[in-house]
Chains A and B, each alone.
Chain A
Amino acid sequence: MSKHFVTMTVNGTEQSLHVDSADTLLNVLRDRLNLKSVKEGCGTGDCGLCSVLLDGRLVNSCLILAAQCRGASVTTLEGLLEDPRVKVLQEKFLKYNAAQCGFCTPAMLVAAKDLLAKNASPTADDIKVGISGVLCRCTGYYPIIQAIEEASEAKVQ
């Protein structure tokens, strides 16, 4: 496998690394940069647990090759911990027990943050669509939707 030299910005810090052609963004984030909030549920783009923001777009990092990310800006939950909107989301996730096993929680929070950035006052249906790319197998979606709804602009302020 050939090596590629890639420079990308991850959570605000510039990272330069040699990656293999087959390395996914997910592998690089988890195994090279130790960003373990990004989970691998399926590795085939079905579960969305590896969701991150790539140049502001919500993507499944298992479907993105690391070599494609030259010059890109990548944000994981670790890079959003100081984001005021994310803090409100976390608070509401706690309040509604929207994190049971916690495995989908980082991806849910990144998807919710992306949704609220685009639509500050989403309806319950908007929220369902917004998080539809992330599968939860234990908490159940209801508390997650409630938490996001209450974290939206219509409810905060």
Chain B
Amino acid sequence: MSEVSDFLKAVKEKGEEGRLLYVGESLSRVDGLEKVLGKPVYTGDMLVQGMLHAKLFHSSVPHATIREIDDSIAKGMPRVAGVLTWRDIPGINESAAVLPDRPLFSKGVVRSTGDIIGAAVAETEVIAREAAEAVKVTYDPLPTVYDPVEAMRPGSVKVHEGGNVAKQMKIRKGDVLKGFAGSP
């Protein structure tokens, strides 16, 4: 309660001076001191007894169907806990933020160099990396497009089945020509 009333009081006081509480004010970060001391703990700073390490393996080609993922060597390496691909995802295999068009682990097709195909999991980071590098993926190449303007043309290579345009928005507001004409 007191925090709320302090807040309202501060808003009121500043308001009387014709100012806003935050907008237009120079504020210090609440976690700034910790940061300049190098103290914050990031995910990569955490070590838990017995934890495993994962390394992703990525597509080496820009556009292709995946013929085969051979993880037999990687899985057989000592101290490797396993290799994960799309088959190991029981739920929704999706990691995109805007449109559901980017699987976490590629299934059947890769659409860019660097698409994630899977992860090798091992007792140490070094072993996990070695295991990830030991996974052999074979591809059947598909035609490619590298330019966004080119990709928007109707006859372009389809990176996505439904076409390459994610979304179209039309914004019409005011009179631009008039605005420019009247600007100094």
A positions within 8 Å CB-CB of B: 22, 30-31, 36-37, 39-40, 77-78, 81, 89-90, 93-95, 97, 99-100, 102-103, 105-106, 109
Provide the bound-state CA to CA distance between A103 and B37, in Å.
Answer: 11
Question: B19 an interface residue at 8 Å Cβ cutoff?
Answer: no
* Contact A105 B36, beta carbon cutoff 8 Å: yes
Contacts of A97 in B (CB 8 A): 28-29, 32
Which one of B31, B33, B37 has the highest number of Cβ atoms from chain A below 10 Å of its Cβ? B37
Residue of B nearest to A35 (CB): B38
- Find chain B residues with CB under 8 A from A105 CB: 35-36, 38
Name 6 interchain pairs, CB-CB below 8 A, sorted by A. A77-B37, A90-B37, A93-B32, A94-B29, A94-B32, A105-B38
Contact (A99, B126) CB under 8 Å given A39-B44, A40-B44, A90-B37 = no
Asked if B47 contacts A77 (CB within 8 A), the reply is no
**Interface residues in chain B, defined as those with a beta carbon under 8 Å from any beta carbon in chain A:** 28-29, 31-42, 44-45, 47, 126
* Contacts A81-B37, A93-B36 given; does A102 touch B45 at CB 8 Å: no
Given contacts A94-B32, A102-B40, 12 further A-B contacts (CB under 8 A): A39-B42, A40-B44, A77-B37, A77-B38, A81-B37, A89-B36, A94-B28, A95-B28, A97-B29, A99-B29, A102-B35, A105-B38
The CA of A94 and the CA of B26, in the complex, are separated in Å by 11
Chain A residues contacting B44 (CB-CB under 8 Å) are 39-40
Is there contact, CB below 8 Å, between B36 and A94? yes
Could you say which of A36, A93, A102 contacts B31, with CB atoms under 8 Å apart? A102
Contact of B38 among A31, A37, A40, A100 (CB under 8 A): A37
Instruction: Note all chain B residues with C-beta closer than 8 A to A31.
Output: 47
Residue of B with least CB distance to A97: B29
What CA separation (Å) do A95 and B40 show in the bound complex?
Answer: 19
Q: B158: shortest Cβ distance to chain A, in Å?
A: 32
| Distance between Cα atoms of A95 and B34 in the complex (Å) | 14
A31→B44 CA distance, assembly (Å): 11
Shortest Cβ distance from residue A116 to the other chain B in the assembled complex, whole angstroms: 15
> B38 to A78, Cβ gap below 8 A?
yes
Chain B residues with CB under 8 Å of A36's CB are 38, 41, 45
CB closest residue in chain A, given B41: A36
With the chains together, A106 CA to B34 CA distance in Å?
A: 11
Residues in chain A near residue B34, CB distance under 8 A? 102
A22: B residues at CB distance < 8 A: 126
Shortest beta-carbon contacts, A-B, top 9: A37-B38, A102-B35, A106-B38, A99-B35, A90-B36, A77-B38, A36-B45, A93-B36, A94-B32
Give every chain B residue within 8 A of A102 (Cβ-Cβ).
31, 34-36, 40
A109 to B38, CA, bound (A): 9
Closest residue to A41 on the B side, CB-wise? B44
Contacts of A99 in B (CB 8 A): 29, 32, 35-36
Give complex CA distance A113, B35 in Å: 16
Q: Which residues of B contact A106 (CB under 8 A)?
A: 38
Residue of A with least CB distance to B47? A31
Neighbour of A103 across the interface among B28, B29, B39, B42, CB < 8 A: B42
Q: Give chain A nearest CB distance to B63 CB in angstroms.
A: 26
Residues of B within 8 A of A94 (CB): 28-29, 32-33, 36
